[in-house]
Structure 1
């Protein structure tokens, strides 16, 4: 079904804004230096959400909205023990599912989305995760960021760049974007970073954001990327 007038599909990302040739070249050069620096720091790029299947990764990513990955990882072992696949989760008792995911916040809406998403997978996709960002984002609780996580991590499909709170913060601080809106940040990263690096870039930025480039007190004096970083928006460091 077509979106209402004036609205676009939630999976859509506009084409990158046009830059002057010199500015675009400088942006690409800088971005590739940052990518190389992050690779050296974090050669093993990984997803922090524990999972054993694409379905479990999708569930965990939906639960991670407004919640830490650490908290999600505490909740999912029992959740996956009871409901390891789409068919079992689609048949889950709503109240029981709510209780299992309560500590992740917004538990009622998350439980509803999980049941609806699982029912769609079971009924329309034989329980399998579609390998298409537009189809994925039609599922309950699945936005572009969630779709990018699942496609990139589970299947190695670079459908876009995951922009979570860490990526949003670091992309701005490192001068990879001048924007603060996730959709525009993603466009900038997609325009300046080679497609083959999109998936690992997000994982590495998240790792760096947790270890060094903290939100309130970034450890700039300890940062191996300091020479590349304009420290945009940084008000304090130690």
Structure 2
């Protein structure tokens, strides 16, 4: 299966055209839109979110991941194979947490580029064909690199990120922290919230933190919006008390 993870959103031609290239090159491989609203132009936040989603993948799967504010620059394209799953996308830290948390990892730099590749849409013109070729065991120009040759700044990122990394359509705040004990308190913009098991365990309008479905610490308001209540956005600092 090929999973697509991007910050393209549902409007405009970007998600559809990239997906169509994958389907044209690998018509017999199922394709799934994992996320098209990953943190906007934010490879760091997206790295923690993508790593939390690995429970959905199995050995042999391919993840086409594009959060690429540096498209067209000197940054390289990568195929990262981690615990049997291949990740295709830019070398900008997007795969840092995948690499760091995997037991077995190899990295290849993508050397292939079509003559007519757009300088602003490598997702469609480079990463989508390569993802399809990886999924169908077809060759393309590449070369291996050592793990420490990947995007340097990302290697200094913390193992867990004490920030909001995603705001879902309900205003719930996913953090880059693993789920906390319900006895701990979480602070966002001076709002202190206690832990609860799930929404129905607190009264309407009450804020709480909980273990979300992918194992992260998430802050929500029962029948309300935590982002509005706390004035929180992606990048807001999360304190643990």
Q: Do they fold alike, i.e. is TM over 0.5?
A: no
Question: Smaller-chain TM-score range?
Answer: under 0.3
> TM-score when scaled to structure 1?
0.24
> TM-score when scaled to structure 2?
0.24
Structure with greater helix percent: 1
